[in-house]
Amino acid sequence: MSTPGSLSAPAPRIAIIGAGPGGLICARILQRHGLTAAVYERETALGARNQGGTLDLHEDNGQTALREAGLLDDFFRVSRPEGQEMRQLNPAGSLLFHHTPAEGERSKPEIDRGQLRDLLLDSLQPGTVRWGHTLRSVEGPASGPRQLHFADGTVVEADLVIGADGAWSTVRSALSDAIPRYSGVSFLEARFDDVDTEHPGIADLVGQGTAAAADGDRGLFAQRNSGDHIRVYLIQRVPADWISAAGLTIQDTDGIRALLSDRYRDWSPNLRRLLTDNDGRYVDRPIHALPVPHTWEQNPTVTLLGDAAHLMPPLGVGVNLALLDACELALAIVHHNTVEDAVLAYEKTMLPRSTQMQQRLDNGAEELLSAEPPD
């Protein structure tokens, strides 16, 4: 065929890099329209690692994509509408703001990352995801076909490469020299298990959704997960290497607890328990973001979605934009005669939208430290 991916000719060979929510829902929507795509994932198998905390999927983007994928009812069956509860406290522990969702409210129900991934994986044709494939480079001419070189020596040819491979995307380097930069704000994750039995005071403090507090320099954000778990993210304006600079390692749980107890010493005892009573080790999560705006010259055989395209601070939009990106890209491929036309149409919408959101959230990690209650 003269143009890569002509849909009037043989179907394009589509390679999606990354089996996160964006990559999986893109493959799902393509399959619903009779097109196939292979998803290449560096994890060795399903369940190779914990997928992390909980997500709120919004009705105007994340839920839109799930509806197009034919999975919205399945999502509502496993999601937690009660997770829409929000509490904002001050460092003294006083309640500043409290939202309790109305009965039937489904504007942004919560779902664990692992549950969402399972839902998407179960919807795909067997063999769609190729586990244990770590991408090393994207080679070949811009006009295609492209060659994907994997760490195990495998080389795969594709007419369209979709980078859904997250913050540290390998596919991105085929389009852009941009790399994520440290925001100056870091999260430290703490996990609490069997909270209703083992940590009833923390369970009462957090409720069924989220609870947050901040004093302008330090903050915390606690989220109820399914399975009687709570995750707490301790938010600090610190150098990226703050743990090693204190002479500690992430494995030194007692040392980090002592450091946190000192840094949050003016906070109420109830809130300090969210820092120090956790089960197991902490997880260090420095917050990075791509330069604003992040754009590139249109390429007929490579494109990006989600964090690979527009990594932003974690303010509740990331996975929703990834799902919307994936939905719009899949539909563009379905409804255009060539892959090149599909990519052009998709990026014509996605890039301005992501630029606008990047500009709104630029330095947004600082907002997580604001002592002001939410609007």
The mean predicted confidence, pLDDT, of the chain is: 92
d(CA 110, CA 81): 6
User: In whole angstroms, how far apart are CA 297 and each of 15, 140, 158, 184, 211?
Assistant: 20, 17, 20, 29, 42
User: In whole angstroms, how far apart are CA 303 and each of 20, 57, 275?
Assistant: 16, 24, 41
Q: Over 50: is that where the pLDDT of 231 sits? A: yes
Q: What is the pTM of this model?
A: 0.93
Mean pLDDT to the nearest integer, 287-297: 94
Q: What percent of the chain has pLDDT over 70?
A: 95
* pLDDT value at residue 1: 30
* pLDDT value at residue 185: 93
Mean pLDDT to the nearest integer, 173-186: 95
* pLDDT value at residue 374: 57
Q: Over 70: is that where the pLDDT of 5 sits? A: no
* pLDDT value at residue 48: 59
Judge whether 13 is annotated as a binding position. Answer: no
d(CA 62, CA 124): 18
Judge whether 341 is annotated as a binding position. Answer: no
Mean pLDDT to the nearest integer, 7-30: 90
* pLDDT value at residue 145: 96
* pLDDT value at residue 370: 77
Q: Please enumerate in sequence order all residues whose Cβ is within 8 A of that of 165, keeping only pairs 6 or more positions apart, or say none.
A: 17, 18, 20, 23, 135, 171, 172, 308
What is the identity of the amino acid at 214?
A
SS3 readout for 189-247: EEEECCHHHHCHHHHHHHCCCEEEEECCCEEEEEEEECCCEEEEEEEEECCCCHHHHCC
Scanning the chain, the segments in alpha helix (DSSP H) are: 21-32, 62-68, 72-78, 113-122, 195-198, 200-206, 242-245, 253-263, 269-276, 307-310, 318-335, 339-361
Mean pLDDT to the nearest integer, 95-99: 93
Domains and CATH numbers, the chain: 14-81+107-179+290-367 (3.50.50.60), 182-288 (3.30.9.30)
For 35-83, what is each residue's pLDDT tens digit? 999 999 999 877 756 667 899 999 999 999 999 999 999 999 999 999 9
For 264-277, what is each residue's pLDDT tens digit? 999 999 999 999 99
Report residue 256's pLDDT band, with 50, 70 and 90 as the boundaries: very high
Report residue 313's pLDDT band, with 50, 70 and 90 as the boundaries: confident
